[in-house]
């Protein structure tokens, strides 16, 4: 089916600031749109780009996007196979091989010179990423070449998504008791200053039951903040009661608080204020690292266990500099958490004992990673504007 291509202002905009069409297809969950929204904002805020963010599922974006004020420089449009499309911008970013609409590719091929076509890939710490970052690939149908952009943890990859002022924002918020109190109250969080703070955002895992058991038996009060998510279903089963936003359940030392799903900026604040964050997928996994607090990763499961190789590659890098025995325990816990068998209560207790080591390590890691160019900055340098 062919699509009408309408003229618009993007080419003109590219004369003053660069412009991009960023395409996102929501496969499931919030990671695809989470990453794309963040990238669009970084390109606009930190680099002055004009970004047209094409999303097939606007409802997914509405869940994570701060509501209210528009985002200057980011124009959100819905797309599907029947959506009339516009004249392509000078840079076209295809997120996660989402397959651009054929009519849009035809419109790209009709441009002289054609836009710079970039395929943004998923984040992985695996070594092969360095060899594939930047590689070209011919699109036989259009005769155009697209280039692969691989995020990653090392200098020879495309880097990690991070707003330019993220660390400063985080530190300022943590240092400002009034702002913290105001924001946390807004989220319905009454924080007990003497309690260990944990957040949980993962998939279904049988280890949630043993985690709750370990926290209930902890020697110090614990507040566990659980935004509405797939983990909540398992927590509800373990506690033998339904759970919904606003609920507080007490078991021994543990207070479990269910939070309404919040926007990305508020979710960052939750991560910043916790002593341990359990996160998942790609975007919350990265945000937990920028929170500079200990984290446990629920990796997105893939066929054939491919995700476990990815998990180990991350742990190899992440654990560098930790005492060997702490690193070994952290790896074992990650494997347990990502398996079909429950992590023993004892192992959760050991993790809680390791938190001081993990906290100073997380701060050092975040500092080291933030010394590299962030992903949006690298993408701006990678982009070859049409001559
Ligand atoms: O939602 P996810 O499981 O996304 C996954 C992964 O990205 C995976 O790699 C991908 O293949 C799959 O989607 C399709 O986890 P992730 O990546 O952490 O995304 C969650 C997003 O939701 C992230 O941007 C943070 C955001 N979020 C909020 O905005 N508010 C909240 O309350 C919470 C808990 C999360």
pLDDT at 13 over 90: no
What's the start-to-end Cα distance of the chain, in Å?
31
Q: Is 187 in the pocket of ligand 1 (CB under 6 A)?
A: no
Shortest-distance atom of ligand 1 to CA 279: 18
Distance (Å) from CA 32 to ligand 1 centroid: 7
Active site residue 282: yes
Task: Look at residue 224 in the predicted model and tell me its pLDDT.
Answer: 98
Distance (Å) from CA 284 to ligand 1 centroid: 6
Distance (Å) from CA 380 to ligand 1 centroid: 24
Which listed residue (116, 282, 283, 374) is catalytic? 282
Pair 269, 227: CB distance under 8 Å? no
- As a whole number, mean pLDDT of residues 40-50 equals 97
Q: Is 202 in the pocket of ligand 1 (CB under 6 A)?
A: no
In 3D, which of 348, 364, 46 has the Cα closest to residue 209?
Answer: 348
Same CATH fold assignment for domains 9-160+373-382 and 166-370:
yes
Is the sign of the CA dihedral 379, 39, 310, 288 positive or negative? Answer: positive
pLDDT at 1 over 90: no
3-class DSSP assignment, residue 243: coil
Q: Is 201 in the pocket of ligand 1 (CB under 6 A)?
A: yes
Name the residue with the closest Cα to ligand 1, atom 7. 31
Tokens at 303, concatenated: 């066929």
Distance (Å) from CA 365 to ligand 1 centroid: 22
Distance (Å) from CA 54 to ligand 1 centroid: 18
Q: Is 267 in the pocket of ligand 1 (CB under 6 A)?
A: yes
Task: Look at residue 201 in the predicted model and tell me its pLDDT.
Answer: 98
166-370: CATH superfamily:
Glycogen Phosphorylase B; (3.40.50.2000)
Q: Could you read off the pLDDT of 59-80 as tens digits, one per residue?
A: 999 999 988 778 999 999 999 8
What are residue 259's DSSP bridge partners? 227
Res. 375 pLDDT band, cuts 50 70 90:
very high
Distance (Å) from CA 30 to ligand 1 centroid: 4
What are residue 53's DSSP bridge partners? 22, 76
Q: Is 282 in the pocket of ligand 1 (CB under 6 A)?
A: yes
| Percent of the chain scoring above 70 in pLDDT | 95
Task: Compute the distance between CA of residue 362 and CA of residue 293 in angstroms, rounded to an integer.
Answer: 5
pLDDT at 7 over 60: no
- As a whole number, mean pLDDT of residues 183-201 equals 97
Q: Is 268 in the pocket of ligand 1 (CB under 6 A)?
A: no
Name the residue with the closest Cα to ligand 1, atom 24. 34
pLDDT at 39 over 80: yes
Q: Is 354 in the pocket of ligand 1 (CB under 6 A)?
A: no
Q: Could you read off the pLDDT of 250-291 as tens digits, one per residue?
A: 999 999 999 999 999 999 999 999 999 999 999 999 999 999
User: In whole numbers, what is the pLDDT of the chain averaged over residues?
Assistant: 93
Which listed residue (21, 32, 183, 354) is catalytic? 32
Task: Look at residue 85 in the predicted model and tell me its pLDDT.
Answer: 77
pLDDT at 2 over 60: no
Domain regions of the chain by residue span: 9-160+373-382, 166-370
CATH architecture for segment(s) 9-160+373-382 = 3-Layer(aba) Sandwich (3.40)
pLDDT at 12 over 60: no
Pair 157, 151: CB distance under 8 Å? yes
For residue 19, the surrounding DSSP H or E stretch is strand 19-24
Q: Is 374 in the pocket of ligand 1 (CB under 6 A)?
A: no
* Sheet order of strands, 136-139 included: 74-78, 50-55, 19-24, 91-95, 116-120, 144-149, 136-139
- As a whole number, mean pLDDT of residues 357-373 equals 98
């Amino acid at each position: 089916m062919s699509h009408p291509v309408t003229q618009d202002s993007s080419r003109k905009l590219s004369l003053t600031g660069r412009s991009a069409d960023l395409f996102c297809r929501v496969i499931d969950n919030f990671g695809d749109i989470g990453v794309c929204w963040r990238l669009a904002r970084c390109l606009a805020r930190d680099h002055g780009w004009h970004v047209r963010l094409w999303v097939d599922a606007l409802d997914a974006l509405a869940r994570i996007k701060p509501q209210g004020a528009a985002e200057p420089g980011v124009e959100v449009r819905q797309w599907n196979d029947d959506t009339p499309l516009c004249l392509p911008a000078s840079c076209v970013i295809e997120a996660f091989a989402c397959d651009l609409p054929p009519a849009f590719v035809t419109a790209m091929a009709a441009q002289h010179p054609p836009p710079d076509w970039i395929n943004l890939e998923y984040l992985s710490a695996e070594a092969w990423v360095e060899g594939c970052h930047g590689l070209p690939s011919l699109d036989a149908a259009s005769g155009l070449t697209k280039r692969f952009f691989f995020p990653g943890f090392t200098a020879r990859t495309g880097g990690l998504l991070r707003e330019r002022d993220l660390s400063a924002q985080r530190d300022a918020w943590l240092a400002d008791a009034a702002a913290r109190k105001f924001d946390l109250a807004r989220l319905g969080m009454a924080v007990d200053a003497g309690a260990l703070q944990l957040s949980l955002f993962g998939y279904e895992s049988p280890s949630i039951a043993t985690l709750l058991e370990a926290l209930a038996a902890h020697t110090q009060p614990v507040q566990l903040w659980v935004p509405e998510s797939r983990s909540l279903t398992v927590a509800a089963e373990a506690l033998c009661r339904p759970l919904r936003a606003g609920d507080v359940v007490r078991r021994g030392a543990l207070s479990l608080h269910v939070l309404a799903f919040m926007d990305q900026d508020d979710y960052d604040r939750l991560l910043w204020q916790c002593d341990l964050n359990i996160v998942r997928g790609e975007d919350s996994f990265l945000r937990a690292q920028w929170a500079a607090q200990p984290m446990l990763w629920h990796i997105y499961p893939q066929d054939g266990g491919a995700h476990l190789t990815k998990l180990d590659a991350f742990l190899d890098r992440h654990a560098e500099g930790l005492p060997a025995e702490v690193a070994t325990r952290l790896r074992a816990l990650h494997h347990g958490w990502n398996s079909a068998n429950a992590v023993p209560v004892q192992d959760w207790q050991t993790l809680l004992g390791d938190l001081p080591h993990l906290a100073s390590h997380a701060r050092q890691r975040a500092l080291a990673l933030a010394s590299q160019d962030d992903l949006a900055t690298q993408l701006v340098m990678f982009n070859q504007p049409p001559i």
